[in-house]
Structure 1
Amino acid sequence: MRTHRTTPATAIVAALSLVLAACGSDGGDSVGSEAGQQQGAPVTNGAAGLADGVALPTIVVTTNILGDVVQAVVGDAAEVITIMPVGADPHDFQASAQEVVAMNAADALIVNGADFEEGLLDVIDAAGDEGVPTFNAIDAVDTIEFGEGGHEEHSDDEEHSDDEEHSDDEEHFDDEEHSDDEHDDHSGADPHFFTDPMRMAAAVEALVEFLQDEVTFADPAAVSASAAAYVAELVALDGEVAALVASIPEERRVLVTNHEVFGYFADRYGFEVVGAVIPSGSTTDGVSAGELAELAEKIVEEGVPAIFADASSSDDLIEALVAEVGEVIFVELYSESLGEPDSDGATYMEMIRTNATRMSLALA
């Protein structure tokens, strides 16, 4: 038998409705959206231009997470251009004219795939049509569908049919706010594979094969050696994360996030994804007051100790949830963008390590 909150569901709906009205789509004021509208030059990570008088190949990468990984793999063997700056939301980022030119002129284009770069899909397709060799990182990993990564699955009988478990105030969620049709696009492969360092290791191994086939390096053997060394670091990082997770009791390995982004992490390290503020893999999707109220109820019922949100996204909705449910803390993680250069999420390795550390401190 579940225990229910003493705060009436209708009060939660009213409070969260006010927050929704104030936030709008919850995207226009975020750091990610602001960065996504930048129309500046692409970020060049690699060596500039020439090596021993020979022009370096140019590798263009869409996301800054993959940009850091590609740079670690190729080192000074290529010029690496990263399209999305730190803080950009990959779900709504729009390329500038200069960035489109860079993508079309690349010796190779590296993308996350699975529609992760929602605002760049046409540009990516156009570059492929122009003959730019394109590597979709998601194709190299064992993918999961949305909802598979440690999600708690409930049958209709468990969640929606037992009159004894739902008050009259709660029953209107299904009819008015949370119909079966509400998130029909909430399907397909989850693109957030990079939250699992071992899946990233698989992507790197496939990446170096792709690059050796498609790009002319002055010293191909050095690139292969660099990639092997980086994969070894990723394996070691996986061990670090597993050790941190081991400090968290199994019953407290629960995740509530701002949107569905840590499914692969949960799949790898044995977490349960209780829910998400935006019940979708994209920050561009909306959420109703009823859905937020339902999540607030679940957080209390499950005894969730912490709510996690992306460091580059607006936290208004998260703060509203924290205020409603009471004894729960709000923790920022790096999930879809690296942190600033002087932050503890400045590289992919640091991002994963920091996230695991913050989770263990919040949940242990």
Structure 2
Amino acid sequence: MFRTIRIATCVSLLGLSGGWAATASAAELKAVASFSIIADFATNVGGDRVEVTTLVGPDGDAHVYEPRPADAVSLEQADVVLVNGLQLEGFMSRLIGTSGTKAPVVELTKGIEPLKASEEEHDHDDDGHEGHHHHGEFDPHAWQSIHNAEIYVKNIADAFCKADKAGCATYTANASAYVARLSALEGEVKAAIASIPAGKRTIITSHDAFGYFEHEYGLKFIAPEGVSTEAEASAADVAKLIDQVKEDKASAIFVENISNPRLIEQIARETGLKVGGTLYSDALSAKDGPASTYIDMFRNNISTMKAAILGS
């Protein structure tokens, strides 16, 4: 049945998307990226030689994504499949198997030093069973360190070079130019954080997506949910967090673009903190939003944090 749906979807795609077909023929390589941040990296490395298809789009949550038949078609036609790894994309292994793709599946976190997930991630649910979609031993949000992003980019360039040797010089040059931009961005981020007084560097977010940011840049993040948005916070978790906020004197609280804001709004009311805006954690914004690229995402996040903490 799935195969029938897949064929029907493919036919409808070809019928509706004449422009897509023309673009595909111009590109040397077809890459599928599991979510929007990886797609942006791939676009910067691939340039005009690579057609990048994104599975989990802007403002989408890879933790809870449910694949569509069209996703299997994209994987079947791909030359390279780019994923984060570290058990971020719980949907990918089944989708890869269903699609029958022969493309190499490249885990972009290979070569980074992963951070351990918090102990809460290994908790059991009310029935005593371990959470099915919880992440494993490590925190998967490695892109929240710009240094790690540079490793993602190198891994993408290597994957594209293997799949398209004729374009390798282009991919290598594009990757080098983009890494130089990332290096400049890291300087901006460190300067912005240096301007925040040490006693005001504790903030609250929806889920625990900023562990690598904390490790790299020195802000402290506390969150009612673990590293997966699928693990909902209990009333006891929220009460504990509110006590922690008062003890740690958190300076600001933020919603995330992928999360329901209600829990954060409740915590804000009970702690007297004002919601300081939206942070982009696991997904970029739409093209007309403030975080439509990885670099814009980082700039938006740091300026939003700084403005809320310093009141400017």
TM-score > 0.5, shorter chain as reference: yes
Normalised to the residue count of structure 1, the TM-score between the two structures is: 0.73
Q: Deviations over 1:120-147 (max 9, x none)?
A: 33113556x7432111112232211124
- For the aligned residue pairs, the C-alpha RMSD in angstroms reads 2.8
Give the TM-score of the pair, scaled to structure 2: 0.84
* Alignment deviations for residues 132-185 of structure 1 (CA, whole Å, 9 cap, x no partner): 21111122322111249xxxxxxxxxxxxxxxxxxxxxxxxxxxx99x999895
Further displaced range: 180-189 or 239-248:
180-189
Unaligned ranges ≥5, structure 2? 1-11, 120-124
Letter in 1 for 2:36: N
Q: 1:96 aligns with which of 39, 60, 68?
A: 68
Counterpart for residue 323 of structure 1:
269
Q: What's 1:308 paired with?
A: 254
Local SS of the residue matching 2:232: coil
Pick aligned residue for 1:263 from 211, 234, 240: 211
Query: In the superposition, relative to structure 1, how do residues 73 and 119 fare at CA in structure 2: closer, same or farther (>3 Å)?
Result: same
Correspondence 1:105 to 2:77: yes
Query: Paired residue for 2:230?
Result: 284
Report if aligned partners of 1:47, 1:79 keep a CA contact under 8 Å in 2.
no
Structure 1 residue 56 displacement after superposition: 2.1
Larger radius of gyration, structure 1 or 2? 1
**Structure 1 unmatched ranges of 5 or more:** 1-39, 149-176
Alignment correspondent of 1:336: 282
* One-letter amino acid of the structure 1 residue matched with residue 112 of structure 2: V
Say which of 19, 23, 46 aligns to 1:48: 23
1:212 aligns with 2:183: no
After TM superposition, give the deviation of residue 206 of structure 1 in Å: 2.1
Tell whether the 8 Å contact from 1:57 to 1:217 is kept in structure 2 after alignment: no
Q: Which residue, out of 89, 99, 120, partners 2:92?
A: 120
Separation in structure 2 between the aligned mates of residue 63 and residue 356 of structure 1, nearest angstrom: 22
Structure 2 residue aligned with 1:246:
194
What per-residue deviation string (whole Å, max 9, x for no partner) do you get for residues 93-126 of structure 1? 1111111121122100001111111233311355
1:69 aligned partner, one-letter code:
F
> How many pairs align?
288
Closer, same or farther in 2 for the Cα pair 1:210/1:297, shift >3 Å? same
1:198 is aligned to 2:144: no
Q: Which has the higher contact order (CA 8 A, sep 6+)?
A: 1
Instruction: State the partner residue of 1:345.
Output: 291
Q: 2:108 aligns with which of 137, 153, 158?
A: 137
Task: State yes or no: 1:360 paired with 2:306.
Answer: yes
- Asked whether the equivalents of residues 252 and 274 of structure 2 are also in contact (C-alpha less than 8 Å), the reply is yes
In 2, Cα distance between equivalents of 1:99 and 1:350? 27
Aligned residue for 1:110, secondary structure, equals strand
Letter in 1 for 2:257: A
